Structure 1
Amino acid sequence: MLSVWPLIALCTLLMVIDAAGPLSFQRPAIAEGQWYRLLTGHFLHSNWPHLGMNMAGALVLWSLHGHFFSVRKYWLYLLLLSFGVGLCLYGFSPNISLYVGLSGSLHGLIAYGAMKDIRSGEKTGYLIIVGVIAKVAYEQIVGASSDVEALIDSRVAIEAHLFGLLCGLGLALLEWRGIKKPEA
């Protein structure tokens, strides 16, 4: 069973190290060739409540879908989703010049896990995927919660949630296309 403590330790360490902002997603720095920021910004947080919320989300996701992952696969997919969300933010959200947080990647893991539930015959997958799609659609129409923005002392990047959802669905579909059913 994968422990989320390494993820908590990594995010905490990066938040402390990044006090001056050398690793966050910053559009001008990425444009100058610091492409690593497309990935590293996801593991930084605006404050301790932001970190806590993302770690609580990671724990809930692990309790729901941890059985689908080996340690290697979990980290690989988390990194792939983070990089995918970073690329989408850079390519499709020019209004975002600074981004930190894991929530976009967590939305990707939610979508991926729900699709794995559906694929394995677990009915809860349908509820989870409808729920996350409804949540993201609501955010796109109404906007983020002002209470959450006050708590994390930052704008909630709802675009990252949308891109995470799409990347998670894409990852699940790519995986499905690569799995061949045995011939009868």
Structure 2
Amino acid sequence: MDDQAADSSRDARSVPGCYRHPDRETGIRCTRCERPICPECMVDASVGFQCPECVRGGSGTGHAPSASVPRTIAGGAVAADPRLLTKILLGINIAVFLAVQIRPSLLRELYLIGAWPPAPYLPTQGVAEGEWYRLVTSMFTHEEIWHIGFNMLGLWWLGGPLEQALGRARYLALYLMSGVAGSALTFLLAEGTTASLGASGAVFGLFGATAVLMRRLRYDMRPIIALLVINLIFTFGWSNIAWQAHIGGLVAGAAIGYAMVHAPRERRALVQYGTCALVLAGVVLTTLLRTAQLT
């Protein structure tokens, strides 16, 4: 009987009590200082819940950030316009799309292609010949209205909440690294003379990071999983889609997103940007390997 009582006591202690009301068990923590908080102490924030001290900006027990520098769950600065970078990325994609419509020959200078095929209407050089910039420019290039429409809808729907949750610098790193990871996997696995373009790799990276963030905040995962499954069905069921970009972006986005929201506070920047650096190193190594195969 004593052993059972001890086990019950240990089980009870496994659920923390609210830092202000220790007798009230709770599974919710402040998204800024990570102290356990009960429903009475929860303050609804833009991302998750915060404790009263973090909302007021007070130091409390020393865990909360200072009032002058409010931080997101990933440690980024809270911005007045949480969708500014998303709007800029949308604007860049639309501007490039319009430029391609006005001057179609611009397309061959921007899309991703591995090596130069023997045809006069294609570029004289590809990534294998040294034009690595195509790994980036192809992320912002679209030719068909439906293509840019779907990608920009995904960017707006996923990008705004992520930008708000991560902060601008971390969000931009996530977007760019996911995009170039998708480009690098396409360069590695697709035929060398196959041209590809679009922001799909970066958008799938946002999918991966969103799933990680929702799990971290203990939100209902079913909507994002259902949407991701639908997109993957289109990825593998529709011809002329660079599935390599989608998978490369998804994996990179999930990895970077995990580092962003799970990095320990004392080494947050090192873990977050270190993960981005590892993804970039993988992109470089992949590109060098494929270049050696094609040249």
Q: Which residue of 2 aligns with 1:2?
A: 83
Residues 21-66 of structure 1 show CA distances to partners (whole Å, capped at 9, x for unaligned) of 2111111100101011111101000222322221111111135534
**TM-score, normalising length from structure 2?**
0.51
Rounded Cα–Cα distance in structure 1 between residues aligned with 2:129 and 2:186: 16
Contact kept? 1:54, 1:103, Cα under 8 Å: yes
Q: Do structure 1's residue 170 and structure 2's residue 251 form an aligned pair?
A: no
SS of aligned partner of 1:81: helix
C-alpha contact (below 8 Å) 2:178/2:252 kept by paired residues: yes
Q: Distance in 2 between the 1:160 and 1:41 partners?
A: 11
Question: What pairs up with 1:35-184 in 2 under 5 angstroms?
Answer: 35-94=132-191, 97-122=194-219, 124=220, 126-128=221-223, 130-131=225-226, 134-135=229-230, 138-139=233-234, 143-144=237-238, 155-175=240-260, 178-179=263-264
Aligned-partner SS, 2:142: coil
In the alignment, structure 1 segments of 5+ residues that lack a partner are: 147-154
Structure showing the higher helix proportion among its residues? 1
In structure 2, the CA distance between the partners of 1:15 and 1:76, relative to structure 1 (3 Å rule), is same
Secondary structure of residue in 1 paired with 2:110: coil
* 1:66/1:180 CA distance change after superposition, 3 Å: closer
Worse-matched range after superposition: 23-32 or 68-77: 68-77
**TM-score between both structures, scaled by the size of structure 1:** 0.77
Deviation at residue 7 of structure 1 after TM alignment: 1.7
Distance 2:93 2:225 in 1: 29
The structure that has the greater radius of gyration is 2
Stretch of structure 1 that moved more, 53-62 or 10-19: 10-19
Instruction: Quote the Cα distance in structure 2 between the aligned partners of 1:164 and 1:175.
Output: 16
Q: Report the CA distance shift for 1:45/1:137 in structure 2 as closer, same or farther (over 3 A).
A: closer
Between the two structures, name the one with larger relative contact order (CA 8 Å, sep ≥ 6): 1
Which AA in structure 2 matches 1:65? L
Query: Aligned partners of 1:173 and 1:97: how far apart in 2?
Result: 32
Aligned-residue sequence identity (percent) comes to 21
| Alpha-carbon distance in structure 2 between the residues aligned to 1:45 and 1:39 | 13
- Go from structure 1 to structure 2 and tell me whether the alpha carbon gap of 1:11 and 1:137 turns closer, same or farther (over 3 Å shift): closer
Q: How far did 1:9 drift?
A: 1.7
- Asked whether the equivalents of residues 85 and 105 of structure 1 are also in contact (C-alpha less than 8 Å), the reply is yes
Conserved? CA contact 1:45–1:51, under 8 Å: yes
CA RMSD of aligned residues (A): 2.7
